[in-house]
Amino acid sequence: MALSLAEGGKFLILGIPGPEVDSATREILEAVRPSGLILFARNLRSPEQFRALLDELRRLLPFPPFLAMDQEGGRVSRLRQIGNEPPSARDLHERGDTSLIRRHGTLTGQLFRLFGLNWNLAPVLDLEIDAEADNSLRNRCYGRNPDEVSRLASTFLEAMRTEGILSCGKHFPGYTFVRVDPHETLPTLDRDPAQLEAEEWKPFRKLLPVCDSLMVGHVRCPTLDPSGLPSSLSPAIVRGILRQKWDYPGVVVTDDLDMGAISNHYSLPDAAELALRAGSDLLLVCHRPQFAREVAERLARLPDAVRAPAERRIESLRERLAAPLPFSFERFVDLDVHVGRLRADSLSPEKASEPTRDHAKRSPVETY
C-alpha cells in the first residue's frame, strides 16, 4: 500500500497545517511522498523557524521536493508574515519602471534561495479590466493591456530565473472577466475563443516559452467546454488547448483543489482524478492534507497512459530545482531592508507609510 500511495503522491503538492511538522503530518508525508509542499503564512513564525521547517521537509522526502509559495507582492505575499511587504503588481504597473520590477524579482529570488524555497507560483498573467470586480484579482495584475502585462510580468519572472527560482504563470484560461471569487464559488467565463485570443490569452501565449509552469484556474467556460466541467478538470481546455493547440510541453499545475469552485461540487479524490485525466501534472491540495492518502490511492490506480506523461514532465522540471543557499539571519535582515526600500520607491508616500503586516482582516485569496 505504501508503494501505491507514493505512486499517486508524486502528482500532489500539499499544504501543511502549521509552523512545525507534527506527527500526523510526518506520517502523511512519509506514506504519500508528495512531489512537494506549498507554504503559507500559517507556516511562518520567524526566519530561523521557517528555514528549519523547510530543511526538515526536505529530509522527510527521498527526492528534492518542490517547495512552493505565492509571493506575488502586495496582499499576496506570504513572507510579509516575517518581513516587509513588497509592492503589488498594480503598484509596480502604476510606476511603470521595469527596474523596480526587476528588483522585486531579484529580491524575491534571493529570499527564496535563502529559505530553501524553489518555486514561486507567480506571476499573475490576468488583466485588470475592473479593479473593483470580486474575482480575486484586486491589485494582482500588471495592467489592462495584454502587451503591457506580458512585458512587466516577464521582467519579474526573468529576474527570479536569474536567481534560480521557477515561475508559474496564472490563472489560465483567465479570471479577468469573471465576476465572482473562485475561492468561494465556481465562476462562469462568457467569452468566445476569438475574444480570448484577442485579449486575455495574449500574455499566456507570449510568455509560454519562458514560463517554467502554468497554473490552470477554476472557471466554467461554455464556449470552450460545453460539458460544464471547470477548466482545471476539463480535457477540452487543458489537453485540447494547452497541450494540443498551443503545444505546451511543460508542467501544468491546478489552482488549489480545496477552493470553493471545486470543493462545493466534487470530492477531493474525484477532482484530483479528473484533473490528472484532463492533462494537468501537479495538483494543489492546500488545506486538507488529511485526505492525501485517499487522493494518492485513487491516482495510483489510474492507467499508465494517464500517469506516465505527467511523471515525465514533473521529473524534467524537478531536475531544474535550485538547492538552498546557506542560511544567515543577517542576510535575511539585509534583504528585508532592501524589500522595504523597494516598497518606498514603488509606492506613493501615503501608501508607503501604511503598515505592511496588518493581518487582522484578510480576503480569502490572502489566506489561500
Q: How many other C-beta atoms lie within 10 A of the C-beta of residue 160?
A: 26
User: What is the C-alpha separation between 348 and 87, in angstroms, rounded?
Assistant: 11
By C-alpha distance, which of 339, 281, 279, 341 is closest to 313?
281
CB neighbour list of residue 345: distance below 8 Å, 6 or more residues apart: 100
Question: Which of 153, 158, 179 lies closest to 72 in space, CA to CA?
Answer: 153
* CB atoms near residue 21 (< 10 Å): 18
Please state, as a whole number, how many other Cβ atoms lie within 10 Å of the Cβ of residue 59: 9
DSSP string, 183-194: TTS--B----HH
Grid cell listed for 8: 499517486
First to last CA, the chain: 31
The helix or strand, by DSSP H or E, that contains position 115, with its residue range, turns out to be helix 98-115
Active-site residue, selected from the candidate residues 93, 104, 183, 218: 183
**Cα gap 43→150, rounded to integer Å:** 32
- Catalytic residue, chosen from 70, 255, 258, 281, is 255
**Is 134 annotated as catalytic?**
no
The answer to whether 71 and 112 have CB atoms below 8 angstroms apart is: yes
Q: Are 218 and 238 in contact (CB under 8 A)?
A: no
Degrees, nearest 5: CA angle 225-228-233: 75
Residue 183 a catalytic site member: yes
313 Cβ neighbours under 8 A, 6+ residues apart: 249, 250, 251, 281
Q: Which residues form the catalytic set?
A: 183, 255
